[in-house]
Structure 1
Amino acid sequence: MTRAIQPLQPIKSTFSHRMLRIAASCWLIVASVGQWLFGFYILLFYGKTTLTSDFERWNRVLPHGYVAGDWVGNLIVGIHVLLASILVIGGPIQLLPWVRHQAPVFHRRLGQLYLVTAIVVSIAGLVMVWTRGSVGDTIQHYSISLQAVYIMGFAYQSIRYAKARQFNQHRIWALRLFMVTNGGWFFRVGLMSWLVINGGPVGFDPQSFTGPFLTFLAVFTYAIPLSVVLLELYLYACQTLNKTLNYLVSATIFLVTLLTTIGIFGATLGLWFPQIK
């Protein structure tokens, strides 16, 4: 990548590059709304159950989330889910150009909090996966573990370039971090989009939470994150004059935006809102 790249903003002014900008903006708006909905769900559901000491309700949405007598494990789970709200609420805010340009101190402090939180949440997630008997198969567990490695590596790179005041490179690594950090959100949205489109579970067993579709979804959400692949394609397309590639990437982003919208709709009405009543 060259230092001339401006994340979320193509460096050309051709029509094909304007389409890239529009496609990226549409996805960002949809994803931001979806992440904020998820973040408020986390605060309302886990906050309410914590304040009322109704911890067993965690198991309704997070298998093995609460284990009687295991206060250390329960604390780790609580830290993981509650700090996750900082990531899904604060992440989209960090990407707003207005915040970066008009409130640089806030942007810097929120960014520091985001980085630390991402690392803590990833470590807590590793502990949960390998000590709590998480649902899913071994491939899913290893995929999630690899996601944690990505998060810590991308966070380091983001910090390194920020300290070196190479802000274009810093923003690119921050975007990569944003994509891998939200793997859990992408997984949920992807799953709900699949369920809505198919009218129910297809390609997996909802009881054991295993099956070819879930394995595929875990691998390409966590281990080989398609979100990062698409981001790299977008960043490359921003630099090239290849109109065919630009239109192809734009169309792919629009398709992903549509699927994301379907997934958010399904998750909000089918998973999140019913649990906070």
Structure 2
Amino acid sequence: MITTTDERLPDKATPPYTTRLLILSASAWFVVATIGQWLFGIYILLFYGKSTLTGDFEKWNNVLPHGYVEGDWVGNTVVGMHILLAAILVVGGPLQLIPAMRQHLPRFHRWLGRTYVTTAIVVSTAGLLMVWTRRGEGSSIQHISISIQAIYIIVFALLTIRYARARQFTRHREWALRLFLVVNGVWFFRVGLMGWILVNGGPVGFDPKTFTGPFLTALSIVTYAIPVSLLVLELYFQARQKQNKAFSLFTSALIFLCTVITGIGIFGATMGLWLPRL
């Protein structure tokens, strides 16, 4: 679950087929994930934008339990900002990781990067406030897990800034990739949930009314508290560095598997969540 923002190989070097396979697997996942990210971004803008422009704020509660509370203008403003900035993250994140954008539009890359990092910190902070002041459906483990993710986002964002300012661009890009993955924890959760429902033909392992159950507990842990996406990314970094044939083949196969799972989840989320609400 990574992207293709690695350092370029020397022009005259011909990378071994295992390296080319790693790059191909990463590129495939990135393309699929970008499509899913932008579909989610379009959904956010259309659903919340329409309800906001028409003054139908109660519609927020169809998606976010207690998302809108009559009379609580401070809390409602925080939720609204969180939603708007989330749209910026899911649209701008993939753009920031496309190598051509960095190479040919460096100024745009820098300004988008500053916007992305700042937005990530603001959204994660607002998310923490929402989780613990407007606790809706879900278990305490889910709330704790997503709070841990918010801490990841803030720390990774600060490290991304630090290495950019120090002009240590390889480390900067590595932390930017880590930041991208943890920022999209909610997206991974939704995609994973809808993929699970699609494969099983309905909710299995959880109660859709209370939004609790062993599957949701496990999913919140592996997307928020101990993100599998980060573990796969670290495997990718190690495979590129070690150039071990068996390890590279294993990592490539794992990334291709993640691509298939991500694609199934995106299809399920689009057909089961996003389109029906527009």
Tell me: CA distance 1:192–1:271, structure 2 relative to 1, closer, same or farther (3 Å): same
**Conserved in 2, the CA contact under 8 Å of 1:8 and 1:24?**
no
- What TM-score do you get using the length of structure 1 for normalisation? 0.96
Q: Does 1:92 align with 2:94?
A: yes
CA deviation digits over 1:198-232, x for unaligned, max 9?
Answer: 11101111000000000000011000011111001
**CA–CA distance in 2 between the matches of 1:7 and 1:232?**
14
Gaps of 5+ in 2: none
**CA–CA distance in 2 between the matches of 1:9 and 1:263?**
30
Aligned counterpart in structure 2 of residue 150 of structure 1, from 146, 149, 152? 152
**Conserved in 1, the CA contact under 8 Å of 2:191 and 2:262?**
yes
Post-superposition shift, 1:242? 1.5
Post-superposition shift, 1:241? 2.5
**Conserved in 1, the CA contact under 8 Å of 2:22 and 2:252?**
yes
Structure 1 vs Structure 2 CA RMSD = 1.2
Aligned to 1:163: 165
**CA–CA distance in 2 between the matches of 1:275 and 1:10?**
42
Post-superposition shift, 1:9? 6.0
**What percent of counterpart residues are identical?**
62
Post-superposition shift, 1:160? 0.4
Aligned to 1:195: 197
Specify the code of the residue in structure 2 equivalent to 1:15. Y
Aligned to 2:275: 273
**CA–CA distance in 1 between the matches of 2:249 and 2:7?**
15
CA deviation digits over 1:231-274, x for unaligned, max 9?
Answer: 01001101112211111111111111001101101111111111
Aligned to 1:109: 111
Aligned counterpart in structure 1 of residue 25 of structure 2, from 18, 23, 26? 23
**CA–CA distance in 1 between the matches of 2:96 and 2:148?**
24
**Conserved in 2, the CA contact under 8 Å of 1:154 and 1:173?**
yes
Aligned to 2:42: 40
Aligned to 1:69: 71
Tell me: CA distance 1:252–1:10, structure 2 relative to 1, closer, same or farther (3 Å): farther
Aligned to 1:126: 128
CA deviation digits over 1:86-118, x for unaligned, max 9?
Answer: 000000000111100000000000000000000
Aligned to 1:258: 260
CA deviation digits over 1:118-164, x for unaligned, max 9?
Answer: 00000110011001122110111010000011000000100000000
Tell me: CA distance 1:258–1:10, structure 2 relative to 1, closer, same or farther (3 Å): farther
**CA–CA distance in 2 between the matches of 1:167 and 1:10?**
13
**CA–CA distance in 2 between the matches of 1:21 and 1:173?**
18
Post-superposition shift, 1:7? 4.0
Specify the code of the residue in structure 2 equivalent to 1:29. V
**Conserved in 2, the CA contact under 8 Å of 1:10 and 1:21?**
no
**Conserved in 2, the CA contact under 8 Å of 1:84 and 1:121?**
yes
The 5 Å alignment of 1:45-56 reads: 45-56=47-58
**Conserved in 2, the CA contact under 8 Å of 1:180 and 1:225?**
yes
**Conserved in 1, the CA contact under 8 Å of 2:5 and 2:98?**
no
* Alignment coverage as a number of residue pairs: 271
Aligned to 1:226: 228
Q: Secondary structure at the match of 1:168?
A: helix
**CA–CA distance in 2 between the matches of 1:71 and 1:30?**
38
**CA–CA distance in 1 between the matches of 2:69 and 2:222?**
30
- What TM-score do you get using the length of structure 2 for normalisation? 0.95
Aligned counterpart in structure 2 of residue 57 of structure 1, from 48, 56, 59? 59
**CA–CA distance in 1 between the matches of 2:245 and 2:189?**
31
**Conserved in 2, the CA contact under 8 Å of 1:191 and 1:263?**
yes
Tell me: CA distance 1:10–1:97, structure 2 relative to 1, closer, same or farther (3 Å): closer
Q: Secondary structure at the match of 2:268?
A: helix
